[in-house]
Copies of this chain bind each other. A is one copy, B any other.
Amino acid sequence: MPALDLSAPSVDIARAICDIPSVSDDETVLADLIHAAVDALPHLDVYRDGDTIVARTDLGRAQRVVIAGHIDTVPINANVPTRGIVIDDEPYLWGRGTVDMKSGVAVQLKLAAELVDPRVDLTWMWYDHEEVDSDLNGLTRLARTRPDLFAADFAILGEPSNGTVEGGCNGTLRALVRTKGVRAHSARAWIGENAIHNAAPILARLAAYRPRKVPVDGLVYRESLNAVRISGGVASNVIPDACEVEVNYRFAPSLTAERAEGHVRDVFAGFSVEIVDCAEGARPGLDAPLAQEFVAAVGAEPTPKYGWTDVARFAALGVPAVNYGPGDPHLAHHDEERVPLSQIADVERGLRSWLTAS
């Protein structure tokens, strides 16, 4: 595996790191390359924890900004290696990770190498296991072992935001909704009770559910409630005694975890509901002075972030945080994930101009 060349254009860095598969739990090859590349830079202090790498300037500036990005992706689906494609005369980089979020990471790596004299001290973080349970997230681990590294006045997550500033994020909750029944031979079904049939109202409620749109601090957050998995069945001639539906509720940042859980329990009243994972969202965080300066420098109207991102983690630590990265979030996890090359350049320019302004 050749070393990463951080003096190359960001698009080339993006392509190089997308072509190194790093599906969650398999990030080590990429983490090793990033580690080696930033460890060679004398202006950065580098710390590593598992496959999470932190690189800091220590210039004695009055303020410090964290700029972070995860290096894992969702599973590949015949979309690696990347391809350069053109749609309506616009050049794109296509493939897994181009949107979520290796193009953002590429810009960060390039600027980490280039900006030896930024106007604020910088803490770069590249981390593992973002696309899976939050318990496994590299930042969860880091917050436990090195909470001091999160100290900052402002944080920017490079999550895809079409090159605009996306404020805050929705919360996310996963729950298992279960039915029971009684096993029997399917030839004498009336002796048993079919747990899959008992799940009919669960799917009916999901299909009929009308998600809310919730205004929070001037931005409107769109919610959703979806089944993401269903399973049930013992054998092809047995009436099943159990069925399980995993649901994912994305909720506005004005809701606490407790209220989100209450809502899910209300929707599935009468069924067994087990909450397996819940992470609160983050309010937009655009009232912080550094955030306002940053938005002004980037020059686009802030919009709400729908997906849960680690801005919530910074918000919970009292560090205002926004999302700012190349790529259309609608295409994250999509098999046709692709990013316009112009957005990679825009985000690089936006970050550079703000970080080098005097």
Contact = CB atoms under 8 A, between A and B. Distances in A.
A356 interface: no
B131 A190 contact: no
A170 interface: yes
B333 A185 contact: yes
A227 interface: yes
A143 interface: no
A140 interface: no
Nearest to A232: B230
A235 B74 contact: yes
Nearest to A244: B230
Interface string A23-36: 00000000000000
A155 to B, nearest CB: 19
Given A188-B330, A237-B333, A230 B230 contact: yes
A75 interface: yes
Contacts of A187: 170, 172, 224, 250, 306-308, 329, 332
Contacts of A246: 233, 236
A186 B75 contact: no
A64 interface: no
B190 A196 contact: no
What copy number does this chain have within its complex? 2
A100 B132 CA distance: 44
A334 to B, nearest CB: 6
A135 to B, nearest CB: 12
A11 to B, nearest CB: 23
A3 interface: no
A243 B230 contact: yes
Contacts of A307: 185, 187-188
B186 A334 contact: no
A246 B194 CA distance: 13
Nearest to A227: B196
Contacts of A233: 227-231, 246
B224 A240 contact: no
B203 A235 contact: no
B228 A239 contact: yes
Contacts of A70: none
Given A170-B187, A188-B330, 8 more contacts: A132-B236, A184-B333, A185-B330, A189-B211, A199-B203, A200-B207, A227-B233, A228-B233
17 contacts: A75-B235, A185-B329, A185-B334, A186-B226, A186-B250, A188-B224, A188-B306, A191-B334, A196-B227, A196-B228, A197-B206, A203-B203, A227-B233, A229-B233, A231-B233, A236-B246, A236-B248
The 3 nearest A-B residue pairs measured at CB: A229-B233, A187-B307, A200-B203
